[in-house]
Amino acid sequence: MNNIELTLGIISFISFLIAFPQIFGSNWKEFSELIFQGKVSWNEIQKASNKIAKELRKEGVTPTCILGIGRGGALATGLLSSEFVKNIIIKDSGEVEKIINNNLRIGVINTKIYLKKDKIKDEIANQVISRIDKIEYSDVDLKLNKSDKILIVTAQSYRGESFQKIINKLVSLGIDRGNIISATLFWHRHRQIEVLHEPDLYGKILSINKTMPWKDAKHNTNRY
């Protein structure tokens, strides 16, 4: 191998390293967070949102109201609302027409999360213990109609406790249970975590060790 071939080989290898994260739809910073820091990429978040929207369309469901729970739910609400703000109609001629959906309303239910004061000791091998002491929820900030088709969304779901409480709250307000759908971008399903409510729709099953890109590694509200 002469010097030219060696140089070209080195350049090709460096180019491959630079481009490698693009295979996963991210850059090296996002890729390192995904692999080493336990954070999902924004590309994964978009894919999870698209999957939920696709399943809703497949079922012929067009929500009139999307409610996000917490900060992550607010972000998920924004992503999903952009999918349903326009209805796409394909005419017999094959022409595609987009009609603005003026009936869609969005809202956020704020949460205040209290972590346990005592540090959790991992004295028992493989034991999964919640870090959460309690969660407080704000009132629904929208005027709801009994005929509304409501989509409740979160970015992450563990036990489904938030879904359970908000669904019960909506039912107490007179909303038909059949008109309420729960959806989460990522379901942290784990055999040692008791599930109170399984989301009707989810974007992806995710390890409990993974978290969202907007959460600080040292100060976050992950349940486990």
Q: Which amino acid is at 189?
A: R
Neighbour-count burial of 80, counting CB atoms closer than 10 A to its CB (0-12 exposed, 13-18 middle, 19+ buried) = buried
Q: What per-residue confidence (pLDDT) applies to 38? A: 76
Could you tell me which residues are beta bridge partners of residue 65? 105, 150
Q: What per-residue confidence (pLDDT) applies to 76? A: 94
SS (H, E, C) the chain: CCHHHHHHHHHHHHHHHHHHHHHHCCCHHHHHHHHCCCECCHHHHHHHHHHHHHHHHHCCCCCCEEEEEHHHHHHHHHHHHHHHCEEEEECCCCCEEEEECCCCEEEEECEEEEECCCCCCCCCCCCCCCCEEEEEECCCCCCCCCCCCEEEEEEEECCCHHHHHHHHHHHHCCCCHHHEEEEEEEECCCCCCCCCCCCCEEEEECCCCCECCCCCCCCCCCCC
pLDDT in tens, the chain (224 residues): 566 655 655 656 566 555 554 554 445 555 444 444 578 888 999 999 999 999 998 998 889 999 999 989 999 999 998 888 765 555 556 665 555 566 789 999 999 888 777 655 444 444 556 777 788 999 887 889 889 999 999 999 998 999 999 999 999 999 999 999 999 999 988 777 888 899 999 999 988 878 888 776 555 556 55
For residue 161, which of 203, 223, 98, 74 has the smallest C-alpha distance?
Answer: 223
Handedness of CA 52, 70, 167, 115 (dihedral sign): positive
Measured CA angle at 107 (ends 156, 65), to 5 deg? 95
Q: What per-residue confidence (pLDDT) applies to 24? A: 46
Q: What per-residue confidence (pLDDT) applies to 107? A: 92
Q: What per-residue confidence (pLDDT) applies to 210? A: 83
Q: What per-residue confidence (pLDDT) applies to 124? A: 42
